[in-house]
Amino acid sequence: MLNRHARGFFTALFTPLARWLLKIGISPDAVTVIGTAGVVVGALVFYPFGQLWWGTLFITAFIFSDVLDGIMARMREVGSRWGNFLDSTLDRIADGALFAGLAVWFFTGGANVPIAVAAMVCLVLGMVVSYARAKAESLGFTANTGIAERAERLVSVLVVTGFTGLGLPEVVLLVTLLLLAVASFITVVQRVVSVRRQALAEPSPAD
């Protein structure tokens, strides 16, 4: 949903910056790498020390690189399979760092094991959601369905984590992570069912 409704807004917002970066010689790949590095630093440096609010602000400053690099690639008309591969791979690293950072803090100084476990479950299921789509597409199927796309996962966890750092009760973060885990599991099931239906609709070799 966010991907559909926010794309136009963020494209208009970041187009001037994208144009300027291209003008000074910055490539879309460089933006992808820098953005991922920023997210990883924010998640694995700020979060494990309990700096949930400042960590979220730091991560947010870099998370929009995922939009910016796409705009830059389209402006240069150099969209490539390499760029798509790099972007998808680094997205997984960023997502993993985000949930791992939360888990580290709540397993240690945050002393809230349920939240830590929920974060790890979200990490694993989030990877499966992405893998299911990638594997389906590598086999010639489509699997872009589901109620827990990456944008929804990131927005929900970042907003609630940030406000938890400002005093929001931790139970809100726990509920958010549990709901996200359930939504991710449902998304995995939806994608498996979708691919299964496509596979059954294919003509058999005998035909």
CA 55 from chain centre, in angstroms, equals 16
> What is the secondary structure of 142-154 as a DSSP string?
-----S--HHHHH
Q: What is the pLDDT of residue 17?
A: 87
Q: Catalytic pick from 29, 91, 95, 207?
A: 91
- The pTM assigned to this predicted structure is 0.87
Average pLDDT over residues 147-164: 88
91 is catalytic: yes
- Angstrom CA distances, 121 to 16, 93, 125, stand at 39, 16, 6
Asked whether the predicted pLDDT for residue 5 surpasses 60, the reply is no
Structure letter (DSSP) for residue 48:
G
Q: What is the pLDDT of residues 49-106, one digit of tens each?
A: 999 999 999 999 898 887 888 888 888 776 678 888 888 899 999 999 999 999 999 9
Closest CA to 150 of 171, 164, 167, 131: 131
Residue found by looking up tokens 């929001």 in the block: 168
